[in-house]
Structure formats: structure tokens, C-alpha cells
Chain A
Amino acid sequence: MARKKKTDWSKDVFKVLKKADVQQIAYVPDAGHTSLIKMAIADNVIKPVSLTSEQEGVAVLSGAWLGGEAGALLMQSSGVGNVINMLGMANECRFPLLMLVTMRGEWGEFNPWQVPMGQATEGVLEASGVIVHRVDEPSEIAETVEAAAKLAFEGGRMVAVLIGQRVVGFKDWTK
């Protein structure tokens, strides 16, 4: 049941990204983004960019915008902790930036090392000048991403959609 929900919202989010004319999707893989990444790779138009570290994604998408293309950055909340300096460039130059962040360390988290960054994500993004939209209901994700994309590409801002850990589910170690 939970898996069906996950794929559904990914499909809807992908449609939204296509409609917003996103042509580059940069990512460090996260379980929550698996479907979205697969769809990006399979798509004929979208260029998927696999990063070694999330800050590369901020730079790539800034370059994409310079070249006339809209993009999205997919990452886990811990990755947000790697982008803060690079965000200074997007901030300074008023580059649009759309980030989809799957949350850890906040709902049923099993790994204590995820908790500090999970708890710090929202605050640190806002301190960096990023507008944050939180979403915890699968049915609301697509419309939130649509709104965020508008704010980013037409409003010219850095926007992050935080997809709650409640949505993605937590790993079951008892298998």
C-alpha cells in the first residue's frame, strides 16, 4: 500500500517537472527519489546528472540556467548540509533553484546519525535565503512542487520542497 502511494506521487511530480520544462535533473541518489530518478533517466529530453556531492548540483543547475535550461536538484536532507556555501552563488546571482529534499531524522528514524542534519535542514536552508515548502501528505506533493517550480523559475528564487519522512516511510530492519 505504502509503495503504491510512493510511485503515484513520483509520477505526478515528474509530470509537473515536465510541464515546467525541466531539462536537467541533478541528484545524489536517495531511496525516496528512486522512481523519479528512474523516470528522469528514461526520459528522452531530460539530462540526468549523477553527482558525487550535492553541492555540484547547485553549480550544475546554475550553469544550466545560464544556458537557458531549467533544472531540479534531488537529494536527501543530509545532502543539504553539503550545499550551503554553493547556495551563496545562487543567492547572489538570483539563480532560480528548485530542490526536492527527502527528509531523514524526523519520523521513525532508526539511524541516530541522521537526526542532527534532519533537524537542522529547514533552519539552515532558511538561513541561506531559501524559501521552504514542507509537505507531509502524498496527495499534496505534486501541487507543492508545481508551486515551488513557479516560484523558482518565474519568481526567480531558491525554493526547497521538503518531503516528510512520513511520506517516504522508514527502513524496516527486521526483514
Chain B
Amino acid sequence: MAARRKITLDRRKVVANILKDRGDLLLVTGLGAPTWDAASVEDNPNNFYLWGGMGGAVLTGLGLALAQPQRRVLVLTGDGEMLMGVGGLATVAVQKPSNLAIGILDNQRYGETGMQETHTEHGVDLAAMASGAGFQTTSTVYNAAELKTAIPMLYNTPGPVFVDVKVTAEDQPMILPPRDGPTLKHRFRENLLGSI
């Protein structure tokens, strides 16, 4: 079981930090708050926002990472979404994609349905699950110093990399990126491949 430490990080600041020098990073965001967080930084055609398919973010990232081995791929998702597809950690670990990183914005809550507690509130340790699955690089982040160490891992350490960032469950302003699926798909591919 994970040790209990104080959670103080603001998710918007965390994501702004993570994406500050993103370069040509390809980003997949899980449904709900991580999608709003990414949109709050900027709407970038290298972002594919999931508005559904709960449990599917990590594997979407894997398919993309395998298709684009020369590009760094980051999946940013929430603890509830990760838990719904937690077997995916095993699937990813076996494939050893060196260009894939997973970042969890872990507020220990199901944010879209009334802030009910998730399993991480009750001690489930996602980084330990990733490690158990075979991820060589994992980390749980509680403060700014630990985040500062973790961000370069997301970008540079040979993957797959897993970082669980504990963030507060405070309400944040709703910032909505485009939601139309075909639009998101077309513009991502057009930007990446020059064709849809």
C-alpha cells in the first residue's frame, strides 16, 4: 500500500510545467480533467483528446508510439481512467516502446461524476503496478522538486516511463478543447502525416 503524504500540487500548474517545452511531443489525453488541463495550456494539433473510451488512453498511446517510433509520445490521464485500463500497463511493458511515457494526474477522484474517491485514495499505488508490470522507470510525485526531476524522464528517458503525479482535487475552470471526433482525428493526422 502507498504511504500517505500531503498532496499540494495544482494540476493546471503541473500540466503547464510538463508541456512548457513540449517541442514536437505527441500528446494523448484521457477523458475528463486531463483533457481540460491540456486545453488550458493550448489547443495544439499534436493533441488527441479522448472524450470517451474510458480505459483506452494508454493503449491509444501505444498504437501511436509504435506507428511513430521517431517521435516522443506522452499519455496524460487520470487515476480513474488508468484503473479502468490497468491491464494495459502489462501490454505496454511487454512491448517496451522506448518512445512512450505515461503521466497520471492523480487526484484520487472520479472527477466527471461527482468527485467520488477512486482506489488510489485507498492506497492503490499505480506506480507500483507499473513497476510490477515491468516498467523500468516509474515515479510517484508529491511536490515541485520531485516534479522537476520527473519531467525530463517523461521526455528523455528510454521508455516506457510511468509517472504518477499526485494533485489536489480542487475544482478548476472548465476549458474545453474541440470535441468532434472526426475533426480531432483529421487535424492530428494532417498535421503529422500531411494527409488525412
Contact = CB atoms under 8 A, between A and B. Distances in A.
Interface residues of A, number: 19
Contacts of B63: none
A34 B112 CA distance: 11
B181 A113 contact: yes
B53 A53 contact: no
Interface string A29-55: 111001001000000000000101100
B52 A114 contact: yes
Given A34-B114, A111-B52, A173 B119 contact: no
Given A52-B84, A111-B179, A34 B55 contact: no
Given A50-B119, A53-B84, A112-B181, A173 B113 contact: no
A117 B55 CA distance: 15
How big is the B interface, by class? 20 to 34
A113 B179 contact: yes
B51 interface: yes
B74 to A, nearest CB: 21
Contacts of B110: 28-29
B179 A34 contact: no
Q: Which of B52, B86, B118, B174: most chain A Cβ within 10 A?
A: B52
Contact of A31 (B52, B53, B114, B176): B114
B179 A53 contact: no
21 contacts: A28-B84, A28-B110, A30-B113, A31-B113, A50-B116, A50-B119, A52-B119, A53-B55, A53-B83, A53-B84, A78-B54, A82-B84, A111-B179, A112-B51, A112-B179, A112-B180, A113-B50, A113-B51, A113-B52, A117-B52, A173-B176
Interface of B: 31, 50-55, 83-86, 110, 112-114, 116-119, 174, 176, 179-181
